[in-house]
Amino acid sequence: MLYFYIIPNHIEPVDTGWVYPSTIPNAVAIILVLSGTAVFCTPTRHCARPASEVARAGLFLAVLCFGIWLISKVGFIWAAPGVAVGLMALMGERRGFWLLMGAGATPAVIWLLVDVLLDRSLP
């Protein structure tokens, strides 16, 4: 779906430059398909997970979806630190230093890379 629909329809084609905007996304899509195929074809001794782990994964997904919605409403700078701390706490991180790094340093580095260095706007 990424390779055949999403990337071709949502990335602007350009005729200049030696690396096209779709090069990296297409490469990642191919790597994802190959990796998923390798995982699917590799036999494992799989056992069913307890319902508590499945519920925790669902809660993680719900917090992530809420975070994406919140970022679209109030912006990356305001929402990302809270979402990061919420996800880290949900994963069991309780050490203050790492929670502060997740809330402060990680969103700041993402903002610097995307907004300042790449000159792309974040929501």
What's the pLDDT at 18? 76
Q: Tell me, yes or no, whether 46 lies in a domain.
A: no
Mean pLDDT (the chain) is 89
Q: What is the pTM of this model?
A: 0.61
Evaluated on CA atoms 48, 54, 57, 61, the torsion sign reads positive
The tally of domains found in the chain comes to 2
Query: Of 31, 26, 21, 23, whose CA–CA distance to 3 is shortest?
Result: 26
Tens of pLDDT, residue by residue over 17-30, are: 777 888 888 999 99
What's the pLDDT at 22? 82
**Which amino acid appears at position 95 of this protein?**
R
Q: Does the pLDDT of residue 16 top 80, yes or no?
A: no
Two tokens, residue 121 = 């706007």
Helix (H) or strand (E) holding 37: helix 23-41
Helix (H) or strand (E) holding 54: helix 51-74
Residues 30 and 56 in one domain: no
Residue 35 confidence class, pLDDT cut points 50, 70, 90 = very high
What's the pLDDT at 55? 93
Task: Give the residue numbers spanning the domain of 93.
Answer: 51-117
Q: Tell me, yes or no, whether 110 lies in a domain.
A: yes
